[in-house]
Chains A and B, each alone.
Chain A
């Protein structure tokens, strides 16, 4: 895996470490309605990521000073479990990273939820990463969209998200953990299904304008595939109903 410089070689003969081509997504499984108590829920298994999302609301807004008389307040908590990575036991509770991710994920759904319909209430999106292997924020957005739809919360559009990036000078879609850690650049993107609007956009690494342009097209194709899987998951839930057992 290492070349002479001691750096991890991420692309060998045009293939990625797990054998994928640059524009392949990792295996994906989405299940809607996995939690009985929540108003809506979803489980996403995406490569080595396992993310569960539960949605509550619209419900009473607490604390009261958060109330908005014009619309529902949307709250989002993304959390990484301390047992999520193969390495050491992490710290539980919020971190700087999880606080930032909670914010950018909330901002995705603030564009979509028709919050004006529920003044003085709040909608809670709880996301827990049970296992992480690179790309948990995009898995979280993808799961939360299904959970919100499952909760029957009206939205203007559906959304899915995928990270595009660059490693070994090759542009890649759906970065795995090594590609994320040792690659040259990482750009997570959420794109709405119908309008093709960019709702989450972050980037680090060094990229030219032309590379970004190509990567946006790759992200759009990836999100299209994800959206199909989301729709299938919801269809399955409403066809099979409570018969479908939740399995991790």
Chain B
């Protein structure tokens, strides 16, 4: 039986079990509803890129590299640098992932992380101007290495950590001098996303893969300290009040993670 068919049948059975477990106030792995799995961040894992980080949430592992190139600016923003975010769900990360061109899940991943980083203006793209028609482009490449649920939060976390690790490349005569740096990038904000699934009337933070399989509604909210900087609803529906309570949870968990990153 294929993984997908198994998923389809399993989800019917597991959904019952999961909702029974949840009605008793517990999750399969014993976590509280608003609790993340264990989070670890390792910065500076690549020498080849100006910045990098590996984020681990539970068993989910995501690598993000930030790398610079000299590129042409966008016509409507000739003085500004360019931010490009790409997402890869590597086939080695899960039996559910297949090789091939980007699909809607990897595209959504990249675009949500991009919105979170871009909206909070944590990178001063104005400082990336090099010369007429030449600006620095920063490429955030998201590599999902192991998928055990909630790759979006691991990706945002790894992206933010990678930006904290990023060094500004030295530029001479309109070219990057590889391996030489002029100082840290110093992002001015730390965007963190919190993904929740709604099972019944309850928000579960940081769903495991098992919990994701039975999700009815999934919502990602990215925050900085005071602001919501990106939102993406996936499957399902929610009410206005449920959205507002999810925002409260996202600020709380986001601030915890920011503290951990700074500490």
Taking Cβ atoms with an 8 Å cutoff, the residues of A that contact B are 68, 70, 96-97, 99-100, 102-104, 107, 110-111, 185, 187, 192, 196-209, 212-213, 216, 220
Contact = CB atoms under 8 A, between A and B. Distances in A.
A212 B110 CA distance: 24
B119 A205 contact: yes
B4 to A, nearest CB: 8
Interface stretch (B40-48, B129-137, B178-186, B222-230): B222-230
B213 to A, nearest CB: 15
Interface stretch (B14-22, B138-146, B233-241): B233-241
B237 A192 contact: yes
A96 B228 contact: no
Interface residues on B, range: 20 to 34
Contacts of A97: 111
Contacts of A104: 232-234
Q: Report the 3 A-B pairs with minimum CB-CB distance, sorted nearest first.
A: A203-B231, A201-B233, A197-B237
Contact of B111 (A100, A209, A213): A100
A96 B107 contact: yes
A199 B237 contact: yes
A204 B119 contact: yes
Contacts of B32: none
B118 interface: yes
B227 A208 contact: yes
12 contacts: A96-B102, A96-B110, A99-B102, A100-B108, A104-B233, A198-B237, A198-B240, A201-B219, A201-B243, A204-B229, A206-B228, A209-B247
A203 to B, nearest CB: 4
